[in-house]
Amino acid sequence: MHISTKCSIAIHCLVFIYEYGEKQKVTSNLLSLSTGSNPVIIRNIISSLKKDGIISVKFGTGGATLDCPLNEITLYRICKAIEPEFVSKLFGIHSLPSQLCPVGKNIHSVLDCSYQKIGNDLCDSLESITLKDIISDYRKCSIGG
């Protein structure tokens, strides 16, 4: 029901892999230290990104590398890879409206009309930002701080 923290962690990982992946072996343990979250969470995220073809991981010996040009990796693609149903999960809907009440009986379809439109707009918005933009933001930020 929200843009998951996993998505933020995924972006963190991708930035890390892009910036340091050629110099050193990027393991789930290293990413776990950098993000401050659990290695298993990292492995699950990495696994999702891998299935989508965004990155590839050397089996056995370990280490993740980007497998795709920066401008083809949109936020939409990342969110979708992490959680395929993220759009429908974005909206919380009360599950048991009364079927005896005319409003209760129809409220789900009514909400769907609006929520679908908002979901589509959100996807467009997520589609418009790529890892290329994010890397460029990162380089700007990391000069100062």
Partner DNA sequence: ACCTCCTGTAATTTTAAAATTTACACCATT
Partner DNA sequence: AATGGTGTAAATTTTAAAATTACAGGAGGT
**Interface contacts to its own copies, rule CB under 8 A:** 1-9, 11-12, 15-16, 19, 33-37, 75, 89-98, 101-107, 109-111, 113-114, 117-118, 121-122, 124-126, 129, 133-134, 137-138, 141-142, 145
Buried b / exposed e over 22-61, threshold 16 CB at 10 Å, is: eeeebbbebbbebbebeeebbbebbebbeebebbebeeee
> If contact means CB under 5 to 8 A according to the sort of partner, which of DNA, its own copies, none does residue 25 touch?
DNA
Instruction: Select the binding partner of residue 74 from its own copies, DNA, none (C-beta < 5 to 8 A, by kind).
Output: none
Pattern 43-72, DNA, x by CB under 7 A: xx-xx--x------x-xxxxxx--------
Cβ–Cβ under 8 Å, residues 122 and 90: yes
Pair of tokens at residue 75: 């936020």
